[in-house]
Structure 1
Amino acid sequence: MINKSEILARFARNEVSAEERAAFHAWLQTLTPAEMAALMDEYGEMLVHIETSSAPADEALLAAIHREISTQEVAEPTPLIRRIALRKWAQAAAVALLLGVGIYLWEARQTHPAAPPVVVQNTDIGPGKEGALLTLADGSVITLESAHTGQIAQQGGATASLSGNSLVYDKNGREDVYNTMSTPNGRQFRLVLPDGTKVWLNAASSIRYPTLFSGKERRVSVTGEAYFEVAANADMPFRINVRDKAEIEVLGTNFNVNAYNNEETISTTLLAGSVRVLSTNNKGVIIKPGQQAQIANLSGIQGNQHNTGIEVISTDVDKAVAWKNGLFNFDNVPLQEAMRQLERWYDIRIVYEKEVPDIRLAGKMTKQVTLGGLLIVLEELGVHCKLEANTLTVSAK
């Protein structure tokens, strides 16, 4: 039986061996959310003290947690806004760090009182991972996994090979044959096209492309979300068809496209270079780095295909590409929007018991956290989550 007081005191003095640290982490992983909450309440002060004496591997993250928490402005409570106590978040952050969860900082603004504890009625659900499906021109399907390496297909003279978490095409194609890479929920993968263009594909997304770029343009089709680093070629513009609702014209640049059917907009966020975004009525806008072009996506929600206007806004590009960098960035994100990301990454179904809780999140966290670790955070935000099989029922009371 773990002596919690003794081991935590030794953590605080940095007197634990590597074996003891590993054993303690393994024990923490066995705790239920309710037991974890009890540990925070009972040993919170000691856990926070660990910030000053943790092992080097933990030190940078703990310091970041401490800096962000200590610099937050605490708003005066009002009937409509409540902030979670920073002391509680320091405890939660320290416990999460010991778990390997990597929670940086969370805040909540909500209109409801605190909810009951999280209820988990099955084993934990792990985060998504690298993987995709490749559909060849003849209709055959190959499962792509980062553990595999080497040549996997040859079509029209072009060879496709797996290297780590990337599918790479050479430039030896002789025929225009098309392949499709698709990622189910809980998977993401990387693609290097025959011209050297690099594509990161997020969960629940797809890209259709030729194994040889010929003619006057390079053309691909995308659904879901993808990040592009387009190889420059002024003589052959790069064009992306986005679900037959928008088109992006590129010469050479870095940008992100978010075109999920259940999001309110189709958005193109530019990091470097210049792109032209066109809607279905051929009205186009040119955006600059730091800008995002948004096209209403009402057809994916209400069946309305007539709103084709484009709005250009300034945006946080790091937030737009956080998924590619292994993070959830929920800065000022409504709970329902964040939940759609979780559905795709954890391959779960989210339902709301009554109304959608009126909560906005802030901060960021690693995408490698298990769903159980994330539910601990949601509990602190006043969100009641009940997980049964792969369905997460959400409510706030």
Structure 2
Amino acid sequence: MDEIARNNFLKKFSENRHTEQEHKLFIKWLESLPDEEVDALLEQYGDFFKDLPDEETANHPELFAKIEAQIDAAETEEASDHSIKPKIPFKKLIAVAAAILLFITIGIVFRNNLVKEQTITNNTNKITPGGNKAILTLANGSQIVLESAKKGVLANQQNIIVNKTADGKLVYDASQKQQDNAGLQSGYNTISTPNGGQYQVVLPDGTMVWLNAASSLKFPVAFTGKERNVELTGEGYFEVAKNKAMPFRVTVNHSTVEVLGTHFNIMGYAEEKSTNTTLLEGSVKIISGNNQKLIVPGEQARVNGEIEVAKVNAAQAVEWKNGNFNFSHENIETIMRKVARWYNVSVQYQGAITNEGFVGTVPRSENITEVLNALELTGLVHFKIIERRVIVMP
């Protein structure tokens, strides 16, 4: 359990918002710790426990007495035990006692910091998580605001029916188009998501695409000829329908990703250092200028002039599609660009900001304060919110 996930759970526990499964996972994590880490936890929270004011311990007199007795007994027995038998029972006893103690002390810490957190909350009433928001621009230039459009048929273009499904997905139904594509004049449609938006579209060939915030996809109303060509800006996850006769090509930032049928993610925001293609299934060819490379599942191609290939945890690259922020040793500026795109806020930096990498997962459905508080709990960074501006401080 990483630090952000742990602190996020403890905050939920203090507010009585945790689930039984989360509780069990936390206990399991505690019981799996090496002896020295358990000792460190006891020392850290035990010292805090001893320094608590009387009015706090008075709220749970029996529980505090029991915890204290368990810890004292375990430490006494462990200190007097010079045999070589395993110490796991003592470690587990301490872990359980420490777990109860952690729950209480963390709750007190959060209560003591309530004023600070309330300051953030009071400024974030209008800052909500992103959702299914996008604009569809048809071949004739007309636009449809998808989040407010009614479910059902939105357009009919050359017998390609454009539907908005009950679950808010955009589907191009090509089942009624003429079988002979000769002479078919195919125009282009574009689906664009704003900051704070995401959307899923099923293309005329059956390819499924998930668009992240501040992204767009330009594609033909009907795929004709020998290739299926689309243009991406921002970030998208693709599950390409197989068709050996018509390779599928995604153009993004002057590079091309070519596939026959596969699952991959492309992150190509202009403000990021490189365009990253991460492969989950199948194989893809990355083409940039005169350079090209093939990648296999579990690899990521990073294009910034040259093409660099690295082994990665591919599942982490698509956590956004599954409803999570995933921070994998990312610096605060990279993280805040994700936050800015999803919550539609601006970001300002004050002072010397840490270059440390953050690791953790936070649901994208959470209020912005949940994400910022999880980052603050590392002690490496702090935040202040004014209107829709997030100020990042040391």
TM score, norm. by length of structure 1: 0.71
Q: Aligned runs of 1:155-234 on 2, under 5 Å?
A: 155-163=157-165, 164-171=167-174, 172-173=176-177, 174-234=184-244
Structure 2 unaligned segments of length 5 or more: list them. 1-6, 41-47, 49-97, 108-114, 178-183
Mapped partners of 2:263, 2:279: distance in 1 = 6
- How far is the alpha carbon of 1:89 from its aligned partner? 12
Equivalent residue number for residue 276 of structure 2: 267
- Relative distance call for 1:64 and 1:89 in structure 2 (3 A) is farther
Retained in 1: the 8 A contact 2:27–2:99? no
Instruction: State the Cα deviation string for residues 323-374 of structure 1 (Å, max 9, x = none).
Output: 0011111132222111111011100111101233233222212111001222
After superposition, the Cα gap between the structure-2 partners of 1:72 and 1:337, relative to the gap in structure 1 and judged at 3 Å, is: farther
Query: Structure 1 pair 72/230, CA: closer, same or farther in 2 (3 Å)?
Result: farther
Q: 1:49 to 1:193 in 2, by over 3 A?
A: closer
List per-residue Cα deviations over 1:253-274 (Å, max 9, x = no partner).
0000000011111000000001
Q: Which amino acid aligns with 1:131?
A: K
Alignment partner, residue 74 of structure 2: none
Unpaired runs of 5+ residues, structure 1, are 1-39, 78-84, 96-115, 297-307
* Aligned partner letter, 2:137: T
CA deviations over 1:228-281 (Å, ceiling 9, x no partner): 0000000000011113x21011000000000001111100000000100011x2
What whole-Å deviation, never above 9, does each CA across 1:118-162 have from its counterpart, x for those lacking one?
642523321111121101112111111288410111122211000
Tell me the residue number matched to 1:129: 131
Per the alignment, residue 328 of structure 1 pairs with 325
1:344-355 aligned at under 5 Å gives the runs 344-355=341-352
Identify if the C-alpha distance between structure 1 residues 69 and 260 changes in structure 2 by more than 3 Å, giving closer, same or farther: farther
Aligned-partner Cα distance in 1 for 2:226–2:197:
34
Aligned to 1:291, which of 299, 302, 325? 299
Measure the CA separation in 2 of the matches of 1:375 and 1:144.
30
Deviating more after overlay: 219-228 vs 334-343:
334-343
Aligned with residue 253 of structure 1, among 256, 262, 278: 262
How many angstroms apart in 2 are the aligned matches of 1:68 and 1:123? Answer: 33
The answer to whether the 8 Å contact 2:190/2:217 transfers is yes
Distance 2:374 2:306 in 1: 38
Equivalent residue, structure 2, for 1:104:
none
Secondary structure at 1:359's aligned position in 2?
coil
Report the Cα offset of residue 88 of structure 1: 12
Q: 2:290 aligns with which of 274, 282, 305?
A: 282
Q: Distance in 2 between matches of 1:349 and 1:169?
A: 35
Measured after TM superposition, the shift of residue 75 of structure 1 is 12
Structure 1 CA distance, aligned partners of 2:375 and 2:134?
A: 30
Query: Which residue of structure 2 lines up, in the alignment, with residue 388 of structure 1?
Result: 386
Q: 1:322 to 1:45 in 2, by over 3 A?
A: closer
Matched residue type, 2:310:
I
Q: Which amino acid aligns with 1:393?
A: I
Which residue number corresponds to residue 62 of structure 1? 23
Q: Deviation per CA, 1:70-109, whole angstroms, max 9, x where unpaired? A: 54675999xxxxxxx99799659987xxxxxxxxxxxxxx
Question: CA 1:47–1:208 in 2, change beyond 3 Å: closer, same or farther?
Answer: closer
Whether the 8 Å contact between 1:45 and 1:91 is mirrored in structure 2 is no
Distance 1:126 1:156 in 2: 39
**Preserved CA contact (<8 Å) 1:329 1:364:** yes
The code of the aligned residue for 2:333 comes to Q
Alignment length (residue pairs): 309
Q: Could you say what secondary structure the match of 1:363 adopts?
A: strand
Give the RMSD, CA atoms, in angstroms: 3.2
Percent identical pairs in the alignment equals 39
Q: Is residue 264–residue 279 contact of structure 2 (8 Å, CA) maintained in 1?
A: yes
> Does structure 1 conserve the Cα–Cα contact (< 8 Å) formed by 2:362 and 2:371?
no
In the alignment, is residue 339 of structure 1 matched against residue 328 of structure 2? no
**Contact 1:203 1:225 (8 Å CA) reproduced:** yes
1:142 alignment partner in structure 2: 144
CA–CA distance in 1 between the matches of 2:38 and 2:287? Answer: 43
* 8 A contact 2:196–2:341 mirrored in 1: yes
Look at both structures and tell me which one has the larger radius of gyration over its CA atoms: 2
Cα gap change, 1:235 to 1:89, in 2 (>3 Å): farther
Deviation at 1:165, TM superposition (A): 2.6
In structure 1, give the amino acid aligned to 2:350.
E
Aligned 8 A contact 1:130 1:146 in 2: no
Q: How high is the TM-score relative to the length of structure 2?
A: 0.71
User: How far apart, in 2, do the equivalents of 1:90 and 1:156 lie?
Assistant: 64
Q: How does 1:313-324 map to 2 (within 5 A)?
A: 313-324=310-321
The equivalent of 1:236 in structure 2 is: 246
Range 246-255 or range 350-359, more displaced = 350-359
Secondary structure class of the residue paired with 1:278 = strand
Which deviations, in whole Å up to 9, do the C-alpha atoms of 1:187-232 show, x marking residues without a partner? 1000000000000000000000001000000000000000000000
Report matched runs for 1:110-121 at 5 Å.
Answer: 117=116, 119-120=119-120
Question: Which amino acid in structure 1 is aligned with residue 21 of structure 2?
Answer: A
Which structure features the higher share of helix residues? 2
Q: Secondary structure at the match of 1:330?
A: strand
